[in-house]
Amino acid sequence: MHDRVPSDHETVVSHRVHLSTVGRTRRKQLVLPDSLDCTLDDVVSLSLEGDQVWTQLTASLDGEATIQGAFGTRQLARTGDGDDELRAWLADHDLQDGDALVFDVLRTGYAYGLRRPGERIVYSPPEQPDSSLADIARDLDT
């Protein structure tokens, strides 16, 4: 069972981030705040204004932690195959390079949310699996 948490709840830590692009590809990315406790290459839950997707944390050309895409499953997030839900969400809201967004920390190291400034969202973050089960799943993927 998932707890529902509003974006303005005291347990949600919010960070203002800005949309940027990757080099000449002009592919959109979100550079995450340095203060986040996250590990590159981890696949984490990301709620796009309430819709849960999965993203793999990657490094920018400058070595900063970024989100460059989001997908329907953990496996698709690892491979980058399938429909990029982040790209579609950004296009649906006509968000461009330099636009501000709010990055919410729902469960440190596992579940995050993304929303437009001024929007209040009620999240349903997934529970983090037992670490031993996650390790087994990660070993099976390699």
Question: So what's the architecture of 5-141 in CATH?
Answer: Beta Barrel (2.40)
Which tens digit of pLDDT belongs to each residue from 86-134? 999 999 999 999 999 999 999 888 899 999 999 999 998 887 776 655 5
Proportion of the chain above pLDDT 70, given as a percent? 89
Q: Are 103 and 34 in contact (CB under 8 A)?
A: no
3-state secondary structure 82-105: CCCHHHHHHHHCCCCCCCEEEEEE
Q: Output Rg (C-alpha) for the chain, integer angstroms.
A: 14
Q: How far apart are CA 37 and CA 8, in angstroms?
A: 20
- In 84-127 the beta strands, taken as DSSP E runs, fall at 100-107, 111-115, 122-123
Could you tell me which residue, 57 or 142, shows the higher pLDDT?
A: 57
**Total residue length of the chain:** 142
Average confidence (pLDDT) over 58-87: 92
pTM as predicted: 0.84
pLDDT of residue 1: 37
Identify residue 67 by its one-letter amino acid code.
Answer: I
